[in-house]
Every structure is written in C-alpha cells, then in structure tokens.
Amino acid sequence: MTDPTDRANPQWGGRFAGGPAAIMQTINASIGFDRRLWRQDIRGSLAHAAMLAKSGIISVEDEHAIAGGLEAIAREIEEGRFPFDEALEDIHMNIEARLTERIGEAGKRLHTGRSRNDQVATDFRLWVRDAIDGIDAQLADLMRALAGRAAEHAADPMPGFTHLQAAQPVTFGHHLLAYVEMSARDRLRLADCRRRLNECPLGAAALAGTSFPIDPAATAAALGFDRPCANSLDAVSDRDFALEFLAAAAIAAMHLSRFAEELVIWCSPPFRFVALSDAFTTGSSIMPQKRNPDAAELVRAKGGRVAGALVSLLTVLKGLPLAYGKDMQEDKEPVFDAADAWGLALAATAGMVRDMRPDLARMRAFAGAGYATATDLADWLVRVRRLPFRQAHHVTGRLVAAAEARGVDLDRLTLEEMQAIEPGITAEVVSVLTVDASVASRRHIGGTAPENVARAAARWLEALA
Ligand code: ARG
C-alpha cells in the first residue's frame, strides 16, 4: 500500500491526506494553456526574488541561486526540454517545483510574501502588455500597407456605396484611407488599455497583502510597471485589463472583418474590382475554374471569434465576489485565442493589401454608372441656377427618370431633353457630370479629391516611417 499523502500536491498538500480524483486534476489543471505565460512568470519571479533579497527577506546567496535556477529553467523551456506536469496544475507551480528540484532549499523560499493570486495577475498583465506591443506593431504595418496603396491610387475613381448601391464616385485611395483611420483608432485604444493596465499586482499576495516588509514599488519598477496597484483586493481580482484588451480586439477585428468582406465582394466575378494572386487564394477540389478568397473569408470570420472571446470573459467575471475565484483561471484562453486570431487576421490583411491588383478601368466604369453623379447635377442647379436644394433634388430626380426611360447615363441626355424638364440648364452642366469632376470637387477636409487623398496618404506614410 502506498501512503496516500504521497499523492498530495507538494506545493499545497500539507493538510491533505490523499490526492485528487483524476477528473479533479483534469478540470483543475491550467498547464495545458497557461504554459504560454512562462516568460512572464520567470520575469516576475526574478523581480520578486531580487526585491526579497534587497529588502533582507531572503539572503543574497539564495537570490543568486534562484536567479541562476530560473535562467536554466528558461533555457529548458526554450529548448523544449522542460518536464511539464499536469499534477502540478499550472505554470507557476511547474516552474517553482522544478526550481526546487534544481537548487534545493532556496527554491522553497521564492514564494515568500507572494501568492499565486498576485503572481498570476502579474504574469497575465505582462503577457497582455507584450501582446499589445506586438499587435500595435502589426497595426502600424497594416497602416503602412494601406497608405502605400492609397498613395498609388489617390486619383483612381471607384463607386462609393451606401446600402451597397452605387452612391457617389470616390477614389480607391480614399476608400483605403478610411481603414487607415480605423486602424489608427485601434492603436489608440490599445495604448489607452496599456496605460491603465500598467500597474503591478505583486505584493497583494493572496488578497490582503503580506506581513513581510516588501517593496512593491521596486518590483513594479523592475517589471516596467508605472506603479504598484493601490488596493490588494483589486490587484488580485481585477481583469479589466484583459477585458479592455478584448474590447479593443473585438472592435479592431470587426474593422478587419468589414474590409475582408469588401475584398470578398470586390473579388467576386460579377464585381471583379480587385484580384488576389495565387498567394492569397485557393482553388476548389471540384470546380476547376474557382479562385476563392479564403484568407479574406477567414479574416471576416475572426471578427466573430474575437467578439465571442470578449463576451465569454465578461460572462465569466460577472457576479464574481471579491477577491480571487478559480473561475478566473478561465480568463486566459479567450485572451490567448483572441490575440492569436487578431495577429493572424492582421498579417493576412496586410498581405492581401500588398497583393491585391485593382482593375482600374472597371472600377472607373462603374464609378459613373447608376447615375452616381446625380448629386453633382443637383449641386450645380443650386450653385449656378440658384435653385433651393430640395427643388434641385426633385428636378434631378426627374432627369434621372428621363435618362432611365431612355436607358442612358445622365450625360447622354441631350440639352433639349434636359431643358424640357429644367429650362435653366445649359451645356455647361456636362462638365460636372463626369466622375473625375465629381471627385475633384470634394476638396474640403475629409473629402475624396485626389489632391486630398495624395496629401493624407503621404502624411500617414511619413508618420509611420
Ligand atoms: N492557475 C491559477 C489561475 O490561472 C493560478 C492561481 C491559483 N490560485 C489559487 N488560489 N488556487 O488563476
């Protein structure tokens, strides 16, 4: 008979006689996913041990042994040699147990004045902060790609849509720059999240703080935090930083999803505004003619997946009493999954932006179709004939109906046909009915005029250089 206490957890099993049921171990273990926190866990432990030694809580010799052991463990994990063990629950206890295995007694002093609760809160903040920095760089890269293509196509017209009906001509560059503006806001949201996230939970211990004379300001500074958290209960139970990250992710992934949907539409044969190369499309196993925009479709789908992660974590946290509850272990997978999905979607989108080949002649042809310059005609009646806008709108509506009845574009109506509806119309009106005149006339701030677009694209490219 083996002694049942042999199977009790070595990190907390003192008051336990037996080991966990197999299903208890399985549901309890987070090592399957929280091993992704290993770098942050080691960084946090190095800072904690240094502070403990500096504050005279552990000896300098112990601190050296701990630091050396943790660095060796980092190499083991890096090289895939680390013996991860589900029985040790999570990354924190896996690393601590391994440390004691390697350096003995000193390893058992590392957890002085600390709990896994402030430890995991710290690790997770560090992980999200690293993720923010990585995603931010990817957003900047996407913006460079979009602004570069916008500069290239500052003067190329395409139909602008409302209700997905041709509305008014815009330039392709202007359309792409809309996504640059969205991405810029996505970066601001991340920066804002990072600013609020950047407080250090270490020292909160389990929930109430610790009786040891710790120096939370020192660990905070060593880990690049602006300051320690001001309240120990909040420090261990707050996951706002993760929610804010997911909210920023959900909004940004929604932006990517909208662009992806436009790519899908533009690539569709009836539209054929844009083609993606072999690099970003796939074929069909049955229909030899197919070229499918799978990357764009997957980016479109990631938006839903990331929004789901936000709802998932909000729902886990809702109603949780202070301070820590094991429910909170469920905070990591949605964040990891959303960060992965967001990163993939950004990389694929930047790739497609650089890859896409617009059919400029086709876009130009459709830019003028569907009476897209009707508003320009109404505006001309207001500006030149001094008609009130509402009346000009009505007159133009009748002109569109006349053109439609004849099956021609507005600029194909004869002067006599136009004057039969509005006698004030002169031959001069034709000059505002072209697509180029329409876009060029919108030269106010935010307008689609090629000179604006070229200037805005250049400004972005310079800012992002
Ligand atoms: N694996 C745990 C988590 O991710 C670490 C904290 C455990 N704390 C505790 N009191 N059981 O939340």
Q: What is the mean pLDDT of the chain?
A: 95
Using most ligand atoms within 8 A of CB, pick from 86, 326, 327, 332 the residue to mutate for ligand 1.
326
The residue-averaged pLDDT of 253-271 equals 97
Cα(318) to centroid of ligand 1, in Å? 18
Tokens of 315: 């729902």
| Confidence class for position 2, pLDDT limits 50, 70, 90 | very low
The residue-averaged pLDDT of 305-327 equals 98
Cα(115) to centroid of ligand 1, in Å? 9
The residue-averaged pLDDT of 71-90 equals 97
Q: Which of the two residues, 159 and 369, has the higher pLDDT score? A: 159
φ/ψ of 358, rounded to 5, equals -75, 145
Percent with pLDDT over 70 in the chain: 98
Quote the CA–CA distance of 233 and 217 in Å, as a whole number: 17
Quote the CA–CA distance of 113 and 107 in Å, as a whole number: 14
Cα(111) to centroid of ligand 1, in Å? 14
34 lines ligand 1 (CB under 6 A): yes
pLDDT at 197: 98
| Confidence class for position 370, pLDDT limits 50, 70, 90 | confident
Cα(242) to centroid of ligand 1, in Å? 16
Mind listing the pLDDT tens digit for each residue in 17-67? 888 999 999 999 999 999 999 999 999 999 999 999 999 999 999 999 999
Using most ligand atoms within 8 A of CB, pick from 89, 90, 114 the residue to mutate for ligand 1.
90
Residue identifier of the C-alpha nearest atom 12 of ligand 1: 329
Contacts within 8 Å (CB) and 24+ apart, 458-463 = 458/151, 460/143, 460/147, 460/150, 460/177, 460/180, 461/144, 461/147, 461/148, 461/151
Residue 319 Rama label (left phi>0; alpha psi -120 to 50; beta): left
> Is residue 302 classed exposed, middle or buried when 0-12, 13-18 and 19+ CB atoms within 10 A define those classes?
buried
**Contact call for residues 34 and 91 (beta carbons, < 8 A):** yes
Quote the CA–CA distance of 63 and 72 in Å, as a whole number: 14
Which residues, 6 or more positions from 285, have their beta carbon under 8 angstroms from its beta carbon? none
The residue from 268, 284, 312, 438 that is catalytic is 284
pLDDT at 199: 98
Q: Which atom of ligand 1 is nearest to the CA of 90?
A: 1
Residue 270: CB atoms within 10 A of its CB come to 5
Quote the CA–CA distance of 283 and 121 in Å, as a whole number: 46
- Name the amino acid, one letter, at 134: G
116 lines ligand 1 (CB under 6 A): yes
Cα(91) to centroid of ligand 1, in Å? 10
pLDDT at 94: 98
Global pTM reads 0.94
Residue identifier of the C-alpha nearest atom 10 of ligand 1: 117
90 lines ligand 1 (CB under 6 A): yes
371 lines ligand 1 (CB under 6 A): no
Q: Which atom of ligand 1 is nearest to the CA of 206?
A: 10
Tokens of 130: 């690293």
| Confidence class for position 287, pLDDT limits 50, 70, 90 | confident
The residue from 163, 211, 285, 444 that is catalytic is 163
Contacts within 8 Å (CB) and 24+ apart, 425-432 = 425/381, 425/385, 426/384, 428/384, 429/377, 429/380, 429/384, 432/373, 432/376, 432/377, 432/379, 432/380
349 lines ligand 1 (CB under 6 A): no
96 lines ligand 1 (CB under 6 A): no
Cα(330) to centroid of ligand 1, in Å? 10
**Contact call for residues 81 and 20 (beta carbons, < 8 A):** no
Q: Which atom of ligand 1 is nearest to the CA of 91?
A: 1
φ/ψ of 148, rounded to 5, equals -65, -45
The residue-averaged pLDDT of 151-169 equals 96
Residue given tokens 């990591």 in the structure block:
332
**Contact call for residues 432 and 438 (beta carbons, < 8 A):** yes
| Confidence class for position 6, pLDDT limits 50, 70, 90 | low
Residue identifier of the C-alpha nearest atom 7 of ligand 1: 116
Percent with pLDDT over 90 in the chain: 91
Cα(105) to centroid of ligand 1, in Å? 23
Helices (H), 60-115: 60-78, 91-103
Mind listing the pLDDT tens digit for each residue in 381-435? 999 999 999 999 999 999 999 999 999 988 889 999 999 999 999 999 988 999 9
Mind listing the pLDDT tens digit for each residue in 173-216? 999 999 999 999 999 999 999 999 999 999 999 999 999 999 99
Residue 147: pLDDT over 70: yes
Does 284 participate in catalysis according to the annotation? yes
pLDDT at 1: 41
Q: Which atom of ligand 1 is nearest to the CA of 324?
A: 10
**Contact call for residues 149 and 355 (beta carbons, < 8 A):** no
Q: Which atom of ligand 1 is nearest to the CA of 116?
A: 6
Residue 4: pLDDT over 60: no
Does 163 participate in catalysis according to the annotation? yes
Using CA atoms of 13, 82, 84, 104 in order, give the dihedral in degrees to the nearest 10: 0
Mind listing the pLDDT tens digit for each residue in 325-362? 999 999 999 999 999 999 999 999 999 999 999 999 99
pLDDT at 15: 86
Cα(7) to centroid of ligand 1, in Å? 20
Residue identifier of the C-alpha nearest atom 1 of ligand 1: 90
pLDDT at 8: 78
pLDDT at 300: 98
Residues 185-196: b if buried by 16+ CB within 10 A, e if exposed:
ebbebbeebbee
